[in-house]
Structure formats: structure tokens, C-alpha cells
Structure 1
Amino acid sequence: MHHSSFVDTLRDGGTAVGYWTVLDAPVATERVSMTGYDYIGIDAQHGLMGYDGVLRNLMAVDAGHRAAGVVRVAANDPVGIGQALDAGALGVIVPLVDTADDAAAAVRAARYSGRRSYGPMRSGLRVGPRPVESDRQVLVLAMIETEQGLANVEDIARVDGLDGLYIGPSDLMLAVGGAYPADPEHTDALEAAVERTRAAAEAAGIVPAIHTLDGATARKRLQAGFRMVTIASDLTHLEAAARSHLAEAKA
């Protein structure tokens, strides 16, 4: 599923499974991108990299020739959104969207028909050279992760030009009253919020997307109707693998 076919698949009602990278480790990113994931999510918000890292890791994804590169930008800001797209991202995930106006601003920042400045740089390698083609060939997803975002989720989902809603379960858990991301006392409230968000996306004809910690959870979310599901992160998996091998060696 190379390049814009990832976008077409999601726009046409299909599904995509991705992996998350927070490390500025392009060689590792390239390797993971070749394992069969549909996309690699590059984290410019909580990840340990700046713009140069985003660029290097998008190039690493492209070097693997299989996955699409998607960037979670640092903020709902035209500069960061434009840079991620110019660097070659096929989608942007925009954090902390509270209102329909916030979502509309994100869409404008990502579209030449809105406020995106023309200077396609690397993006010209994979999307159409004409602004109208480019606008059609990149995804814009709004993160639903705050109390206000959840309260406005149906309005946000209907914003013209928005391609999907992306749930950040850790922040959403805090938004529904959880004391910490895995708070067992608020699991039901979180699941209700997750389902409300998924239903809002589906009703609006856009992509319901969510982050998960492992493959088993990802499968559960896909079965529940989510169409874009991200798994874990390179840093947490690196630690988990190292720990398990050490435990085995010392057993």
C-alpha cells in the first residue's frame, strides 16, 4: 500500500494499521517501515525530535518503499502543519482540537485552498504538483483528547475537509476524569467516549482512528469499527524486548 494508495484506501472505507515512532532513529524507522505496516506515525509533539528529525524519518519511511509517512504535529499551527507536509508527510494528526473552529483552522493550514503556502519541496515527489491534487492527496486528522473536544465531537466530525478523528486514549482518559492513563476506575467512561467519537466519525463519513498500546488492542479496535489504528511506539517496544530477553537470560 504505497504512498497515496494509503490515502485512497482510507478515503474509500478501507483500513490501515500503523506503527508509532518517537525516536529520531531513521535506520530503525526504515526497518520497521519495511515490515508491512501501512503507515508510520512520526511524533513531532511528544516525540524526541525536531523538524530535522521529522524530515529524516519521513525519508527513512520512503526508503522502505512500503509504508506512508504520517506526522503528529506539535500544535494546531500553520507553520508546523505546512512544514510536515512540505517534508513529505501524507497526513497530519493535529493535537488538542477542542472545537469545530479549531478543526477548520487545521484543515485550512493543510490545504492550498486554505492557508497553506506553496513550496512543496519533498511533497512534490509523491503528490500531484497542482494544489487541488495535493489537497486531495493528504489526510488531515483532528485529535479528540480533551473534555471540550469530546463535548464538541459531532460538530468537529462534520467540519468540511476534515478526513478523520484520531483518539489519544491517554489524554482522553484524563479528560473523562481518570487519575492516570490506565486508571481502572474510569475504563467505562473512557470506552463510552471512544465509542462516541467512533460513531461521530462514522456518521460524518470520515475515518475513525485511534492509538493503541499493543497488537491485541489494535485488533479489538479494528473489530469495533476503527479504520486507522496505530500500535505502540519504538521506544516502549525497545525497552520491553530488552527486559524480556534479560528476564529469560536470568530465569
Structure 2
Amino acid sequence: MTTASSAALARKLRARETVIGYWSALDVPVATERIARLGYDYVCLDGQHGYLGYSGLLGSLQAIDAAGGAVGLVRVEVNDITPIGRALDAGAGGVIVPLVDTAADAAAAVASVRYPPVGRRSFASNRSGLSPADANVANVVVAMIETASGLSEVDAICATPGLDGVYVGPSDLSLAVGGAFPLDPAVSSEFEAAVVRVREAARRAGIAAGIHTPNGTTAARRLAEGFTVASVASDLAHLEQIAHAHLEVARG
């Protein structure tokens, strides 16, 4: 990650400009490097539900940097200063933090990303080479809204000083509004209302509104609705889908 590329993504995100990313769950740096060359603004490595250990995160962040252009982000495993700091030390341009239920949770995430005097991140030698002052500007922190508590507190979360954006986790949010399974069509109305609630809370607060999407068509629709950040699918999902499609064609 270069100071310029990370800072440029931070500026776009904070200005509520359109930002499109890709989601990576697999520990395959060569494939991640190829994806990072395609023109996405960022590639997010899934440290929560993906199949990457710390060495995998480090290797994939190096691969993203080698590709040039895209910025590597990490969805950390938990809202805790240690995995957040380690992701940033490995070269991530920012973090997406899961299961943020309250403004206090959001404030803790912000403090874990920022160096003193505005936060409590501890300093160590890191891949980015950013000074504390530059890192405080260039590194972004985004809170996931995916629980009933997070939804009920979304306005207060969005108002948290230093928070750069919120991000809808559709699978968990659909469960939070009563779905029997992720994206249960029986609660589609309740889910869409929740999505609008998050999007509009972010708009009122002047921060980025992000959402995970299964494909480019859905990403384009969500951006047209007013979201400013959209992640597309994941490498694992696309690998399975394209392999299945080719098998069906081959079988005639």
C-alpha cells in the first residue's frame, strides 16, 4: 500500500464518492493479485469468515500492493485493538469491523485504528511505512451493521466521531429482522426497510454507506439507490459458480 493510494481511497470514501470493491475469502495471493489488477477500488480480505490466517492476510496484502491500483482492506475477525492493529501493520489501508452494536462499539473501533492523541493504536514497524499522522488520515474504519442492536442504534453509530462509514452485512441483517435463514424471502420487506434505514442514517451523518452484494448487477442497483460503497461477491463464490456453469455446458 502506498500513502497516495490509501489516502486517495480514504478521500473518495469520506466524500461519499462511488467506491467499488471485491471480496476475497481464499488464501491464494496469486489469484488475489490478478483480481486487484482489474480496476476495483479495493479488495477486502475476509479475516472473519474467510480462509486466511495472519500469514495469508499478509501475503494477500503484498499481492494487492504488487498489482497496483486497488487498496487492500481487511474485515477483521472481531472488534478488538489487537487484530485491527495487526491488519493495519500488515499493510491494510483500513478495516471493516463486524458486529458493531452501539456507538460505544464504533468509538472503540475508531480508537483502535487511530494513533494518539486521537486514538489508542500502538506504534510498531509496519509495512505501509506511514507515519502516525499520515496513518490517521489514510486508514479508514467502517462499522458493519448486521444485528438488531446495530440497526436500532444506527443513527448514534453513524454519528460517532472519526467513523468513515457503515456497511450492511446482508446475511446477518436478514436474520436480525426475523429471517429463518440468510436472505429469507419471507422477510424481504423488513430487510429492505432495514437497508434503507442504514443507508439514510449514513447519508444524514455524511459518512459512507456500504453494502455487500452477490454480483455486479446488484451492486449497480444498490449504488443507484444511494449507497456509496459496494463490494462484489467473493472469489470463492465466483469460483464455484463459474465451475458449475462450465460443467452444465459441458454436459449439454
Is the TM value for this pair above 0.5?
Answer: yes
Q: Partners in 2 of 1:102 and 1:64 — Cα distance? A: 34
Confirm or deny that 1:122 pairs with 2:127: yes
Match of 1:21 in 2: 24
RMSD: 1.0
Match of 2:237 in 1: 236
Q: Partners in 2 of 1:154 and 1:244 — Cα distance? A: 42
Q: CA deviation at 1:134?
A: 1.1
Q: Secondary structure at the match of 1:122?
A: coil
Match of 2:151 in 1: 150
Report percent identity of matched pairs: 53
Q: Secondary structure at the match of 1:89?
A: coil
Q: CA deviation at 1:13?
A: 2.5
Q: Partner letter of residue 61 of structure 1?
A: I
Match of 1:104 in 2: 107
From the superposition, tell whether residues 65 and 111 of structure 1 become closer, same or farther in structure 2 (CA, over 3 Å): same
Match of 1:33 in 2: 36
Cα deviation 1:91-121 (Å, max 9, x = unaligned): 1000000000000000011110211001141
Match of 2:248 in 1: 247
Match of 1:49 in 2: 52
Cα deviation 1:177-207 (Å, max 9, x = unaligned): 0011121110110110011001111111110
Q: Partners in 2 of 1:92 and 1:120 — Cα distance? A: 18
Say whether the 8 Å CA contact 2:22–2:42 is kept in structure 1.
yes
Q: Partners in 2 of 1:51 and 1:197 — Cα distance? A: 31
Say whether the 8 Å CA contact 2:7–2:138 is kept in structure 1.
yes
Match of 1:83 in 2: 86
Q: Partner letter of residue 226 of structure 2?
A: G
Q: CA deviation at 1:2?
A: 3.5
Q: Partners in 2 of 1:40 and 1:149 — Cα distance? A: 25
Confirm or deny that 1:225 pairs with 2:230: no
Provide runs of 4+ in structure 1 moved above 4 Å. Answer: none
Q: CA deviation at 1:4?
A: 2.3
Q: Partners in 2 of 1:72 and 1:90 — Cα distance? A: 11
Match of 2:76 in 1: 73
Q: Partner letter of residue 17 of structure 2?
A: G
Q: Secondary structure at the match of 1:3?
A: helix
Count of aligned pairs between the two proteins: 247
From the superposition, tell whether residues 120 and 195 of structure 1 become closer, same or farther in structure 2 (CA, over 3 Å): farther
